[in-house]
Each structure stands twice: as C-alpha cells, then as structure tokens.
Amino acid sequence: MAVLATAITMNANAQEQKTAEILNTIEYSNLPRVDIKEFKKNKKGAYVIFDGSSLKGWRGYNKDHVPNKWSIEDGALRFSRNPNVEKPEGGDIVFAYDFKEFELEFEWKVSHAGNSGVFYLAKEIKNQPIYISSPEYQILDNDNHPDAKMGVDGNRKSASLYDMIPAKPQNAKPVGEWNTSKIVVKGNKVQHFQNGVKVVEFTIRDQAWTQLLQTSKFSQEKWPLAFALLNNVGGDSKSGLIGFQDHGDDVWFRNITVKVL
C-alpha cells in the first residue's frame, strides 16, 4: 500500500508540474471590463445584464465589438446563421465582467436541430476558443440534433455539463418553446437548473473534477492546454466571463440576470 501511495503522489506531482509549465505559456487578451454597478438590479437583487433593448457590456470573445450575427430581436438576444447584413461576422460573445460566485439566470430557445451553449468562469486567451477554459451548459434541440445521441449517457443533451455530466431528469421543452435555466457557482460547487429543476451538480478544483476531466475530451493526454486551464478553472482569481456560443445555428436568449453571491 505504501508503494502504491508513493506512486500516486509522484504521478500527481508530475501532473501538477506539467500543468504549471503549460499555464506559464498562456497569453491572455486582457480586454477592457465593465463596471457591474452601472447595471440595474431586479427585484431579486440580480444585475440585469441583458434587458432586451441594449447590448451594453457585451462584445465578441477576444474582440472589442459585438459580431453582427448577434442582434436584438423582439426583446431577445439572437444569433442568426444568415443575417441580412453586409459582411456577416460570427463568433462567441461574452459579458465583459469577471464573476466569481453567482447565480446566472436566463431563458432560451433554439431552432430546429439547433446547437449552442453557455460558458462561465471563462478566460480570454489569445488564439484559443472560449471552451478551452470554460465549463459549458449545453443548449440543444434534443429531438433533432445528432449530438443528443453522442457522448455518454446523454451528456451532450441540453443543460448537461457538456461531454461530462448528463442533465437528469432531462426536461427540455420542444423546439420553439422558451426554456428557463439557471447556473449557480458557489465556492467549488456548481449546479445547473432547467425549467425549475436541478439537473446537474458537481464540484470543481478537486480530485473528482480532475478525474472527470481525465475521462473527457479535455484530458491531459488528449488536450493538455484545455486540461491545464479547466483543472484550475477560473485561474488564480477563481472568476471569469459568461459567454454565449456561436455554433452556427439560430438561438435566442432573454431575461439574462446575474446575482452576485
């Protein structure tokens, strides 16, 4: 038993050393942030970060502007795969404030066979996608998108921790109907809610989280940079950006609020 314990400790130390070496090579974007106190609060004491009329505080990931495939439509934040604009520009978008402990609430609906996602605790890293550093709350048409049948045990269906933990019970509404969602981050504990039901719960920054990453597409062997970032999700500040995904499909979000805990 002593020999086994020593081997495990040596492996863990080697893993930590490799992770530290990778993190030292990362170049962050360090783009401007907004003052969250400039945003109104609702009756629940949550900041309204999208009120249906303004994109204040929002911009593209690693960009200083909102890509024009994102727009406001009937009080909702919409991504359109084929917008009626010159020189269409896509890409994920972020709200430019680093949240640490919070309750993010929003409503969403997706197009037929649509796919999108919500990111949190994300870092902006030059020449890298947002999901390399951020957990993802999956947004999906479970009935018609092929991703619903991929992964393991439904861990790519809506509200799942993408490719890692399936949302159970799976209670998403049909295409075209609005779903309500909530993401809670408190310390190392994270919860996903969908239509009023807690469907996912997990911890981050502990051994169980490391093991979960090692069995996913973000393992140290498959994707060393993603593993290094996600294993220490939120970085030294344990905070990060909230973002919405351009997956190439039409998707709508509305009533987006964040309560700082």
Q: What is the CATH number of the domain that holds 136?
A: 2.60.120.560
pLDDT of 191 reads: 98
User: What is the model's pTM?
Assistant: 0.92
> Does residue 250 fall inside a structural domain?
yes
pLDDT of 9 reads: 58
% of the chain exceeding 90 in pLDDT: 86
Quote the number of domains for the chain. 1
> Does residue 122 fall inside a structural domain?
yes
> Does residue 5 fall inside a structural domain?
no
pLDDT digits (tens, 9 = 90+) for 39-90: 999 999 999 999 999 999 999 999 999 999 999 999 999 999 989 899 999 9
> Does residue 23 fall inside a structural domain?
no
> Does residue 13 fall inside a structural domain?
no
Containing structural domain, residue 102: 29-260
Q: Tell me the pLDDT of the chain averaged across its residues.
A: 93
pLDDT of 23 reads: 78
> Does residue 106 fall inside a structural domain?
yes
> Does residue 194 fall inside a structural domain?
yes
pLDDT of 203 reads: 98
pLDDT of 12 reads: 64
> Does residue 49 fall inside a structural domain?
yes
pLDDT digits (tens, 9 = 90+) for 179-219: 999 999 999 999 999 999 999 999 999 999 999 999 999 99
pLDDT of 3 reads: 52
DSSP the chain: -HHHHHHHHHHHHHHHHHHHHHHTT--B-------GGGS-B-TTS-EEEE-SS--TTEEETTSSS--TTEEEETTEEEE-SS-SSSS-----EEEEEEESSEEEEEEEEE-TT-EEEEEEEE--BTTS-GGGTS-EEEEE-TTT-GGGGSSSTTTTSTTSBTTTB--SS--PPPTTS-EEEEEEEETTEEEEEETTEEEEEEE-SSHHHHHHHHTSTT-TTT-HHHHHHHHTTTTTTT-EEEEE---SS-EEEEEEEEEE-
